[in-house]
Amino acid sequence: MKVRFPPFDPDNLPADARAVYDRIMTERGYVPGPYQFWLASPGFADRIEPVEEFLRHGVSLEERLVEVAVLVVAKHWRAQYVWTSHGPAAEKAGVAPAIVEAIRMGDTPVFKLDDEAVCYRFCTDMIAGREADDTLWAEAQAVFGETGVTELLGLLGLYTSVCLTMVGYRMPTKNGEPEPLP
């Protein structure tokens, strides 16, 4: 399989892309994986970064729910790189390892927490293009509020972009393994 990206070297970025890279590095202390590709369009990278930062760390949802949403998207797109980052992050945020593994394998997890179950069902239905039926929509609004539902939808869109970027460029895992999720 042909590699679709050259080794990333921030010192070889054009000035406008380097300015975005430097800003992100200054604000965060690191530049997340998809930016090595997104910086090919500095305007895109500059505009999506604050959205990504907000949806990852500024939302009303608990971090474990954010991670459940990300795992649903990563599994859907078979984005191994995203999975190798967010599988451990989900467990660190409090998602049970058995739930992480069930999502990875494409099995329906057994949830002990109702909010995680609603998050999973809502995200799974939405990412599969089924939309949430009226009962699930009402349940999600009751659990997360209008703000939380909107943020979940934003997370699904953002991580679809992240996953498509990483899959499209054939980015291997952080361990260098290119194998897709089962």
* Tens-place pLDDT, residues 85-118: 999 999 999 999 999 999 999 999 999 999 999 9
pLDDT at 50: 95
Average pLDDT, the chain: 93
For residue 5, name the pLDDT band (cuts at 50, 70, 90): confident
Neighbouring C-beta atoms of residue 119, cutoff 10 Å: 27
pTM (2 d.p.): 0.92
pLDDT at 180: 57
- CATH code of 63-168, in short, is 1.20.1290.10
Q: Which residues, 6 or more positions from 51, have their beta carbon under 8 angstroms from its beta carbon?
A: 154, 158
- Cα end-to-end distance, the chain, whole Å: 18
Neighbouring C-beta atoms of residue 140, cutoff 10 Å: 24
- Whose tokens are 């500059």? That residue is 46
Mean pLDDT of the 12-37 span: 94
Q: Where in the chain is the domain with CATH 1.20.1290.10?
A: 63-168
| Cα-only R_g, the chain | 17
